[in-house]
Amino acid sequence: MRLVVAVASASVVTALLAGCVAAVPMSPAADANSVDCAQVTVHFPESIGETETRRETDAQATGAWGEATSVLLRCGATEPGPTDLPC
């Protein structure tokens, strides 16, 4: 009987830990604390497409989507200038 209780307890702990997903590590952009970024981040979608669900991040004004983190967003980054590199 003790073995059954131990196995059942281990299954419950494993299921609970599987639900704990660490935040995606990111760094905030230079202007992440701007009012404009605050307006953008409150409107981040919960999903992108049919499979990319939003994940928690550890930096202000950032967003991440997908289990393999296929989409990353940082608000407040400096816009890149013109380039002559091919697309």
Residue 66 lies in a domain: yes
- The number of folded domains in the chain is 1
**pLDDT value for 87:** 78
Say if CB 63 and CB 47 are below 8 A apart.
Answer: no
Q: Report pTM.
A: 0.67
Residue 82 lies in a domain: no
pLDDT in tens, 26-84: 999 999 999 999 999 999 999 999 999 999 999 999 999 999 899 999 999 998 899 99
Residue 39 lies in a domain: yes
| Whole-number Å distance between alpha carbons of 82 and 74 | 20
User: Is 62 strand, coil or helix?
Assistant: strand
Q: Is 21 exposed, middle or buried (0-12, 13-18, 19+ CB in 10 A)?
A: exposed
Determine the structural domain holding residue 56 and report its residue range. 22-77
- HSE-CB for 10 with a 13 A CA cutoff: 6
Residue 58 lies in a domain: yes
